[in-house]
Each structure stands twice: as structure tokens, then as C-alpha cells.
Structure 1
Amino acid sequence: MSTTSQHRIRTAKRAFTTRCVDLAGATGLTATATPRAGDLVLARVGGLGQHRRLECPRGRRQSLFVGDEVVVAYGHRYAPDQFEASVPGDLGPCHLVAAGGVAARVDAAHAAMAPATTLEPVGLLTGAAGRVLNLADHPDELLTAPAGGGGDPVVLAVTGAAMNSGKTTAAAALVRGLVAAGLRVGAAKVTGTGAGGDLWLLEDSGARPVLDFTSAGLPTTFRADAATVLRTFTGLLDAVAGQGVDVVVVEVADGVFQTETAGLLRTPEFARRVDGVLFAAPDALAAVAGLEWLRRNDLPVVALTGLVTASPLATREAEAATGHRSWGPARLSDPVQALTLLAGVLPGVQSGVLPGVPAQAGAPRASLAPLG
């Protein structure tokens, strides 16, 4: 690679999505290959729009300026509240469609969105033998390490009605409550669009380790085939479980009607590996419809949560419509209440029989009202 190319890659603003790739292995740039999801690209910022800052691998949001060069990853984007976008078939101008560093060409946008920030690709990063660097070839080391000595942790999944329905807030609150109760908790976000905010919130809440689909080499899971999504779910779950945790909290992004989410939730493997599901809804109608969808697919719902719990009136409506008490962040983050929830899937909690948990912290299984 020329000295000029080395300097450009080294000084470019690097995105969160690329964090697992050692850019010291970049040996060149190519402007002739057709981009694929996960390919790393050096691009120039042509014009500022919706995303004016870029998440770096360590979390800081870097301000962007016209003329900046960035290293981001190509990926499809699914976001009803923002952009629908596709990996283009060429290295022509495209867009920054997620702050975590996803390059694509916008197909459609929510009416509230400003025009997308534009990117002018310089070339795809290449490594040994001229092969294009792709996230899929650089998973997090926890996914490639020898199997740990972990046991068989309880797995609680959080899914919801749509993006921005309160899933991550609920997952983080649940982690907080279980950690406060003395349990070792890990977390994984298994679908979505590459960005650091959810991962860091789960980590800040006390989960160790925390992995997401970018750790498994995917910039996003939109338009990934069913086998890849399932393999990502099982790989992340196994990696976290192998670290000796008592509980794994899994977040499944977007809503249950989203293609990749629905496909994963309907697999026998998901039903076999997940002990309980929390459903996040923005209102009572979504709560009723979502819980019914989960029941039809034989998934073990243990809690209703999400934005609906932010409003006392909406909460009362949801509880009346579903016959189940809602679990807001304050309740989930309380250690005794979190163990009460866990009692629905782990009989040992009935007597407070859990590693590191005082006997008096346990809650009777009967305190978890069943969903009708």
C-alpha cells in the first residue's frame, strides 16, 4: 500500500462498526470491486445531513465536516423512524445512514428526517492477497475463543412492537436489578443496526460481557439470510454464556413484524434457548397485539414493559386489556422485583436459592401473575 493510502486510512475518522478489525492489516484500496454488506470503505464526506457525528469505536461521537475522510462499513438499513437503505451495486456516491458507521444508498426516509449525509467512496480496504476487508472475517475474540467453563444460564429475551418502543431501556433496567441482587449477568443484542449506544447502556447497567451482532461480523442484520441471523443469535448467546454468568439478557431489535426479527423468533432454536420473553409496547393496543403474536408462536412471555409504562393512564389501559401488571424500569431495576420476574422461569428463586443471593431476597413464584 502506498504511503499516501496508509496515511489516509490512519488519519480517517473510524466508525464503531469497524471496531473489531485491525486496520494494520489493510494493505491497499480498490475502486473496482462491487461492495458487499460488511465491506470496509474509505469515503469522503461530501455534504452534511441527518448524521453530523460519527460514533468512534470507543464511544465518542466525532463531529463531521465536509471533506473529512471516514472508514465505515457498507450495510443495509431498516429503520421506519429514519431510513430504509440498501448496499449499492457500485462505488458511486452514497449516504451515511447510521451514526455507528453504515454506508448505503437511501431508498426511503421518514418524513421527519433531514436529507442523509452524503459519502463519496474512495475505495474498499484490502488486505492480504488483495482481499477486501469485511467485518465477517473479523469477529470479536470471545466468539473465536475456546469454549469457557460456563454452565447453563437463564436466558431472558426482550423484544417489542417496533423500534423505539423501550426495549433497551427495559433490558438495561433488568440487568441492573439482577446485578443488584447479586447475580452475574451478561447481555447480547442479536439483531439491529450497528451503533454503540445500546451496547454501552447494557454495559453501564452492569452486564459483563456485552456483545452484539457487529461483534459477530455484521454491520446490520437487515436482509441477512435466516441461517446467518440464527447463527449470530446462537454464537453470541454461547459466547456470553461461556463467561460463567447466571443470566443472559438478549435484546432482539425492531418489532415482531420485521422480517429478520420474526424469522428468528419463530425458530425452534430460539424457543428452546430462551426461558422467558419480555415484550415492550408503546401503548395498550400494541401490547395486546404483540402478546397475542408471541402466544401464537408458543413463546414464554413473562412480562409486559416498554414505553407504555411511562404513562400511568396508558399503563392502566394496558393492564386492563392484557390482564397483566406492567413492568417499568423502576420495577425491573429493583433487585427483589427482578428476582420475582426471574422466579417465573427459575424455580430455585422461590427459596432464594441462587449463587450469591441472600435467601430473603427470593420472591415466591406465585407473585408472578401469568399472562392470561
Structure 2
Amino acid sequence: MTVSTEHDRTLATPMWPEPAPLPTPLRPDRLRRAKKAYTTRSVAARLDASPDGYTLVDGPDVVPAPGDVVLARVEELGKHTRLESPTGRRQALFVGDEILVAYGHRYAPDQFEALVPGDLRPAHLVAAGGIAARATEKHHDIDEPTVIRPLGLLADARGVVTMRRHAGRTLLPDPAGPPFRPAGPTIIGVVGTSMNSGKSTTVASIIHGLSRSGLRVTAGKVTGTGAGGDPNGFTDAGAAAVLDFTDFGFPTTFRLEHGQVRGILLSLVAQLADPGTDVIVLEIADGLYQDETARLLADPLFTDVVDHVIFAADGAAGAAGGVALLRDRGVPVAAVSGVVTSAPLAVREARSVLDVPVIDTFAFADPDVATAVL
């Protein structure tokens, strides 16, 4: 006799939960072959030392979180055809490659807005530094994102492998009282109108000029998307030490709690203010209206920590508006630089409405120009 379960939910649905899927063991040679990303460099270093004992956690109930490390397969090449290695080398990608990247949200007006999805279904490689997410918005002038298929979250005996757990540096807690402020180094902050307004180039030029003057300079990136290009560029410019938010276990800073962004700022300053450092140069990513940047610049902590601000603008109107906005927030601007200085007419316009110096980005590489802002 057949028992129908169509109307009997006690028979149709088990009274106990389905067992969780068992983690899939990962062969050491498979892990070695996977292309590792800049964001996963601290994990990659451990894998190079010992690739044994790792598994993949997969299944419909697995929900990734920012900073979780995932093994994924490249399904379709799009905007990103290369993956930055742990050292920053741009590795060519091919369909079928297995890559080790980190989940993270991304905010990039010139490329994508992307969010960490709630499942392990196909996603996108949304940054060359190694960020997995699902793109929700795209700039009209760029290609579709590269499609990846997550094969599972990397796990060890302690559970899912995360950037925070394997971070090379410890994040300071958000202080309830006055912030830590080293007595020695002068701290310069570089902010800008938007993505690609010339912030990183300005930082590198300032570092180079100050280093040529005989000062010991260190540098850091407070916010942004994990990538090796800027830190390597700062090192090439002469910085004695360089850190960014990924060193503290964050793949990106988009959608971070404000207390964590404050913690990154303070942690960078504490770590970079080693004995003998004369100047710390810090870059704050994106533009003045980006959420995390806007909150940080409006926080009294920023002006408590940062001595001088250089504003990188992409045009004369942006320069004038940005300086006014920063002053409204109590942030004094020492000079304007960035993309605007590529055009002599734009420089003339900016100088006609500003009462702060407008300095060519590459002029900061001159020791006399760089030291004049201290």
C-alpha cells in the first residue's frame, strides 16, 4: 500500500534538520596551483609553508562574509583579466583557473558597486587585488565583470579561513577617550574629489620629495579596495614602511562600521610611527561624498590625528567646492594638487578662486616643495 504525503507535512518533511555537508578535503598540490591574490597574501604565506589540512566548505546554506577566503574557478573573462599576486604581480587569468580571493564589498564609481552575496552561487571578480562579490552597478564605459564560480570557503581545523584571523597586524580598539597621537611624526593626509583624482600619485610625489630631503617617511592607505599597486608605488617612491587596511584583515572598507574605520586610522598611525619616522603620509580613498570617507572627515578624530591635508581635485570647480566643504568640516587644507594640475588653464581657474597654493602633482617630488607643506 502506498502512503500519500501530499497533505501530511509530518511525513513529507523530516522532524530533524538535514545534516550539514561535510567539508571537502583539499589536496596540497591543488592549493599550490591555485593563483593567490594580493588580498589573501597572509593566507598564501601560510599555505606556502604548509598546504596540508585544508578543506572546502560548500552548500546551499553557506553564507559568505566580508574577509572570508574562497577558492573559485574563472568561468568567463570580463573587465579583470589579471589577478594581482601576493607581491602585486599581475597574473594573467584563463578560463578554468582556480583562484584564491576574499569576499568583500566594493565601491568604485569608475568601475563597480558590488556586494557580498548571501550564497555561494556564481559571483564576480570585482577588483584585480582579489575581491569576490556580486556586481550591482557598473560604469557604462567598462566591460562586464569577470564571472567566477565559488567552489567553497577555505577552512582549516579552526573553521573558515578569514583575513582577520590571519592578519599580519592587530587592529587597535576604537578609543572611548582622546586618541593615541604619537609625539614625533608630522602626519599628512591626502583626500580627493573622487576616484582617479590623483590622490595616489600625489602621495607618491610627496613621499619622494620628503625622502630626498633626508626625512624618514612612512605611508599608509586608510580606506579603499585591497590592491598592491599603491603600496608598491609608495615603496618605490621612498617610503621606509607601507601599510594598508588589508594588513589589519579588511579586504575593502566599503560598508565597514565607522568604529572600525577609526580603528584602522589609529592602527596605521601607531604602526607607522616607529622610532626615527619624521613624516607619515596617509591616503583616504574615493571622494568627499563617499559614506565612509565623509564620516571620517567629519569626525574630530581626523583633525586630532592629521596635521596637514593635501586635496587632490579633478578640476577647478571640484577644487573650490572641495576646499570649502573640508573647511566647513573643520579640516584645514594646506594645498591643492592632483589631476587639475595637468591643465594649465584649470590651474589658472583654481588659483583665481582659492587662497591656498595649487601645486603641480609632480612638483612635490622636489624636496623644497614637499617640505614647504610641513
Q: After the TM superposition, which residues 126-165 of structure 1 pair with which residues of structure 2 at under 5 Å, given as runs?
A: 126-129=155-158, 131-141=159-169, 152-165=184-197
CA shift, 1:155, in A, is: 0.2
Q: After the TM superposition, which residues 129-278 of structure 1 pair with which residues of structure 2 at under 5 Å, given as runs?
A: 129=158, 131-141=159-169, 152-278=184-310
Q: Determine the structure 2 residue equivalent to 1:286.
A: 318
Cα deviation digits, residues 59-87 of structure 1 (max 9, x gap): 21110000000000000010000000000
Q: Determine the structure 1 residue equivalent to 2:58.
A: 31
Q: Distance in 1 between matches of 2:207 and 2:170?
A: 20
Cα deviation digits, residues 272-303 of structure 1 (max 9, x gap): 01001000001010001100111011112101
Q: 2:121 aligns with which of 66, 78, 92?
A: 92
Unaligned runs of 5+ in 2: 1-22, 173-181
Q: How many residues align?
A: 336
Q: 1:5 aligns with which of 5, 13, 27?
A: 27
Q: Distance in 2 between matches of 1:79 and 1:3?
A: 36
Q: SS at the partner of 2:190?
A: strand
Cα deviation digits, residues 207-264 of structure 1 (max 9, x gap): 1210011111110000011011110111111101125310000000000100001111
Letter of the 1:31 counterpart: D
Bigger shift: 172-181 or 326-335?
326-335
Q: Distance in 2 between matches of 1:302 and 1:100?
A: 32
Contact 1:165-1:281 within 8 A present in 2 as well = yes
Q: SS at the partner of 1:7?
A: helix
Contact 1:151-1:242 within 8 A present in 2 as well = no
Cα deviation digits, residues 170-193 of structure 1 (max 9, x gap): 010000000000000000001000
Q: Distance in 1 between matches of 2:341 and 2:147?
A: 38
CA shift, 1:143, in A, is: 6.5
Q: SS at the partner of 1:104?
A: strand
Q: Distance in 2 between matches of 1:224 and 1:209?
A: 25
TM-score scaled by length of structure 1: 0.87
Q: Determine the structure 2 residue equivalent to 1:356.
A: none
TM-score scaled by length of structure 2: 0.87
Identity percentage of aligned residues: 49
Q: After the TM superposition, which residues 50-129 of structure 1 pair with which residues of structure 2 at under 5 Å, given as runs?
A: 50-129=79-158
Q: Distance in 1 between matches of 2:197 and 2:267?
A: 26
Q: Distance in 1 between matches of 2:257 and 2:153?
A: 23
CA shift, 1:328, in A, is: 1.4
Bigger shift: 237-246 or 282-291?
237-246
Letter of the 2:162 counterpart: N
Letter of the 1:265 counterpart: L
State the Cα RMSD in Å: 1.6
Higher helix proportion: 1
Q: Determine the structure 1 residue equivalent to 2:360.
A: 328
Letter of the 1:28 counterpart: T
Letter of the 1:108 counterpart: E
Contact 2:124-2:132 within 8 A present in 1 as well = yes
Letter of the 1:93 counterpart: P
Bigger shift: 51-60 or 27-36?
27-36
Contact 2:222-2:284 within 8 A present in 1 as well = yes
Q: SS at the partner of 1:177?
A: helix
Q: Distance in 2 between matches of 1:138 and 1:244?
A: 28
Q: SS at the partner of 1:257?
A: coil
Cα deviation digits, residues 294-327 of structure 1 (max 9, x gap): 1011112101011001111110001111133311
Q: SS at the partner of 2:347?
A: helix
Letter of the 1:6 counterpart: P
CA shift, 1:3, in A, is: 6.7
Contact 1:216-1:236 within 8 A present in 2 as well = no
CA shift, 1:142, in A, is: 7.8
Which protein has the larger Cα radius of gyration, Structure 1 or Structure 2?
2
Q: Determine the structure 2 residue equivalent to 1:19.
A: 41
Q: SS at the partner of 2:271?
A: helix
Letter of the 2:33 counterpart: T
Q: SS at the partner of 1:108?
A: strand
Contact 1:20-1:140 within 8 A present in 2 as well = yes
Letter of the 2:66 counterpart: A
Q: SS at the partner of 1:137?
A: coil
Q: Determine the structure 1 residue equivalent to 2:16.
A: none
Cα gap change, 1:188 to 1:166, in 2 (>3 Å): same
Contact 1:187-1:210 within 8 A present in 2 as well = yes
Q: Distance in 1 between matches of 2:368 and 2:170?
A: 31
Cα gap change, 1:142 to 1:209, in 2 (>3 Å): farther
